[in-house]
């Protein structure tokens, strides 16, 4: 997917940037004074998710509400997947001390629950990172609880269910039932939810003690090797006993 960004120059002219996928926006020159300028993405586990949120905003402003909703959901899915792959990458690094290759990531993606809308994948990622369901994570943390409570009519509802009903169901209506008449208010609400989910997932990423997690993974890997070794010793000892009896 192609992404566009623009920034205003101090002279009042515009810098126009474009990038493909996770590629860099790079540099551009001001439309008025010709000065060079650069666009740098915010530091995030998912550059793509940030860009998709930005794109969703652009579609909303441009009046393409249906596309704005689809892109908002893609941002949430992209963030969840990146968190999962980060975890898998850490597990891999703890054992091999090598960064994952693209084909490894593609292989890991098969483990990720694709179906189940928001609830299943978000619980899957939240359990692995925070050791709790998505709802428990949101409610058990003052900052995330406050972020979520900023959404309209969100009190007394399960965060995962709310996101499922108000964001993912809107997308499904478009993708699965061919509904293309989404209105501005619907699209605004969907984007509002997607921004909140990305902010919550950012907290999950930052709140995860990745170093401790990596150490635990390395210990588990070593314990696994030790257990295998013990098992091998037992087999050899049994064989020796059997031979000595013969
Ligand atoms: Zn300029």
Give a yes or no: residue 246 inside a domain.
no
Give a yes or no: residue 78 inside a domain.
yes
Q: Ligand 1 centre from 36 Cα, in Å?
A: 8
Q: Ligand 1 centre from 16 Cα, in Å?
A: 12
Could you tell me if 82 and 120 lie in one domain? yes
Could you tell me if 235 and 193 lie in one domain? no
| Residue 55 neighbours by CB distance under 10 Å | 22
Q: Ligand 1 centre from 33 Cα, in Å?
A: 4
Its domain, for residue 231, covers 216-240
User: CB of 65 within 8 A of CB of 186?
Assistant: yes
Q: Ligand 1 centre from 41 Cα, in Å?
A: 21
Q: Ligand 1 centre from 44 Cα, in Å?
A: 29
Q: What integer best gives the mean pLDDT of the chain?
A: 87
Q: Ligand 1 centre from 40 Cα, in Å?
A: 18
Q: Ligand 1 centre from 29 Cα, in Å?
A: 8
pLDDT of residue 135: 97
Could you tell me if 150 and 89 lie in one domain? yes
Could you tell me if 110 and 150 lie in one domain? yes
Could you tell me if 55 and 176 lie in one domain? yes
Structural domain count of the chain = 3
Could you tell me if 88 and 130 lie in one domain? yes
Question: Where is mean pLDDT largest: 3-7, 12-16, 166-170, 211-215?
Answer: 166-170
Give a yes or no: residue 245 inside a domain.
no
Question: For residue 42, what pLDDT band results from cuts at 50, 70 and 90?
Answer: low
Q: Ligand 1 centre from 32 Cα, in Å?
A: 5
Q: What is the pLDDT of residues 44-87, one digit of tens each?
A: 667 888 889 999 999 999 999 999 999 999 999 999 988 888 88
Could you tell me if 16 and 117 lie in one domain? no
Q: What is the pLDDT of residues 149-208, one digit of tens each?
A: 999 999 888 999 999 999 999 999 998 888 888 899 999 999 999 999 999 999 999 888
Could you tell me if 21 and 7 lie in one domain? yes
| Closest CA relative to residue 53, chosen from 20, 80, 19, 76 | 76
In terms of Cβ atoms closer than 10 Å to its own Cβ (0-12, 13-18, 19+), residue 199 is: middle
| Residue 162 neighbours by CB distance under 10 Å | 19
């Amino acid at each position: 997917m192609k992404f566009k960004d623009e920034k205003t120059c101090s002279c009042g002219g515009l810098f126009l940037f474009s990038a493909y996928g996770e590629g860099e926006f790079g540099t551009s020159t001001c439309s008025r004074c010709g000065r060079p300028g650069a666009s740098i993405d915010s530091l995030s586990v998912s550059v793509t998710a940030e860009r998709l949120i930005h794109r969703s905003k652009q579609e909303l402003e441009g009046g393409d509400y249906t596309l704005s909703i689809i892109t908002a959901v893609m941002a949430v899915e992209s963030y969840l997947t990146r968190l999962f792959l980060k975890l898998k990458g850490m597990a891999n690094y703890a054992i091999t001390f090598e960064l994952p290759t693209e084909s490894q990531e593609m292989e890991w993606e098969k483990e990720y629950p694709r179906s189940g809308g928001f609830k299943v994948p978000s619980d899957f990622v939240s359990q692995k990172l925070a050791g709790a369901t998505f709802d428990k994570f949101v409610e058990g943390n003052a900052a995330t609880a406050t972020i979520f409570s900023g959404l309209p009519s969100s009190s007394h509802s399960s965060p995962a269910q709310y996101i499922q009903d108000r964001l993912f169901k809107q997308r499904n209506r478009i993708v699965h039932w061919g509904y293309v008449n989404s209105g501005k208010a619907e699209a605004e609400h969907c984007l509002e939810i997607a921004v909140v989910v990305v902010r919550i997932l950012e907290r999950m990423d930052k709140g995860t003690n990745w170093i401790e997690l990596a150490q635990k993974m390395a210990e588990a890997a070593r314990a696994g090797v030790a257990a295998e070794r013990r098992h091998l010793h037992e087999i050899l000892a049994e064989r020796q006993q059997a031979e000595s009896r013969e």
